Amino acid sequence: MPARVRGLVGATARAGLASILALSSGGLSSPARAAAQAPDQAAQILAVMRSSAAAWNRGDLAGFAASYDDSPDILFIGRTVSHGYAQMLAAYRAHYPTPARMGRLEFSNLAVQPLDPRFATVTGRFHLARSARDGGNADGYFLLVFKQTAQGWKIVRDDSTALPAPRPCATTNER
């Protein structure tokens, strides 16, 4: 092929590719677009998780609950299944009436998995440090579903499982 024709074919192909990408609102399929947005999604969601723990550790249940979507459709799965923001907040207020009962919350092993541009999951572990008088330590793991809303990333599903409290070792009086 003459150089002039090769140049035109190459230029036409490049222009066509640029047009396709420009017209396809991102040019990537949903999984590819989600992967490309993953670092931003993960950073934003992890910021919500840090803010949530900080509010908890200040004794601010309303601040902690702000990480959840204020909707009757949210789902919380723990010992029971409950629906709705108001019910979730009421349950937290009943179980954690004082900052001492709330203790100090820490998250670890956090993994953000973008599903698409509007949804992502977060898995991890929680540790709640409290005195024995205030309920003792609690540990467990969770799976959260986050949704991108007009107010930012919000939790719409929370499946948290508390691990059984460690039992003291029984001692025997052997002689």
pLDDT at residue 73, rounded to an integer: 94
Domains of the chain by start residue, with CATH: 30-162 (3.10.450.50)
User: Which parts of the chain are beta strand (E)?
Assistant: 75-77, 81-83, 104-116, 119-129, 138-149, 152-162
60-71 mean pLDDT: 96
Share of the chain above pLDDT 90, in %: 69
Place of tokens 């090769």: 6
Q: Report the side by side order of strands in the sheet with 75-77.
A: 81-83, 75-77, 152-162, 138-149, 119-129, 104-116
Each residue's pLDDT tens digit, 16-49: 433 333 333 344 445 555 455 567 899 999 999 9
Pairing status of strand 152-162 against strand 75-77: parallel
Per-chain mean pLDDT for the chain:
82
This prediction's pTM? 0.74
pLDDT at residue 98, rounded to an integer: 95
CB-based contacts of 118, cutoff 8 Å, min separation 6 = 147, 148
pLDDT at residue 25, rounded to an integer: 39
pLDDT at residue 170, rounded to an integer: 60
Q: Are 50 and 39 in contact (CB under 8 A)?
A: no
Residue 9 token pair: 């074919």
**Which has the closest alpha carbon to 53: 124, 98, 105?**
105
pLDDT at 6 over 70: no
Each residue's pLDDT tens digit, 132-175: 999 999 999 999 999 999 999 999 999 999 998 777 666 555 44
Which helix (DSSP H) or strand (DSSP E) does residue 94 occupy?
A: helix 85-95
